[in-house]
Amino acid sequence: MKKIVWTFGLIEGAILSAMMLLTVPFEEQIGANRGQIIGYATMVAASLLIYFGVRSYRDTAGGGTVGFARALVVGLLIGVVASACYVATWEAIYFGLRPDFAAKLQAHQIDKLKASSAPPEEVDKRLAEMKRFAELYQNPFVNVAITFVEPLPVALIVALVSAGVLSRRRRGIEGSLSA
Q: What is the pLDDT of residue 171?
A: 54
pLDDT in tens, 31-42: 777 888 998 999
pLDDT exceeds 70 at position 176: no
Yes or no: say if 51 and 162 are a contact pair by the CB < 8 Å rule: yes
Q: Categorize the per-residue pLDDT at 172 as very low, low, confident or very high, splitting at 50, 70 and 90.
A: very low
Return all residues near 30 (Cβ < 8 A) that are at least 6 apart: 23, 38
Specify the range with the lowest mean pLDDT, choosing from 41-50, 61-70, 93-102: 93-102
Could you tell me what percent of the chain has a pLDDT over 90?
Answer: 55
pLDDT in tens, 87-97: 999 999 988 88
Yes or no: say if 151 and 40 are a contact pair by the CB < 8 Å rule: no
pLDDT exceeds 50 at position 161: yes
Q: What is the pLDDT of residue 77?
A: 98
pLDDT in tens, 124-159: 888 888 888 888 888 889 999 999 999 999 999 999
Yes or no: say if 114 and 41 are a contact pair by the CB < 8 Å rule: no
Could you tell me what percent of the chain has a pLDDT over 70?
Answer: 94
Closest CA to 81 of 131, 138, 20, 12: 12
pLDDT exceeds 90 at position 113: no
Query: Once rounded to an integer, what is the mean pLDDT over residues 68-87?
Result: 97
Yes or no: say if 92 and 24 are a contact pair by the CB < 8 Å rule: no
pTM for the model: 0.83
* Packing angle, helices 101-115 and 120-137, rounded to 10: 170
pLDDT exceeds 80 at position 114: no
The CA distance from 69 to 168, in Å, is: 11
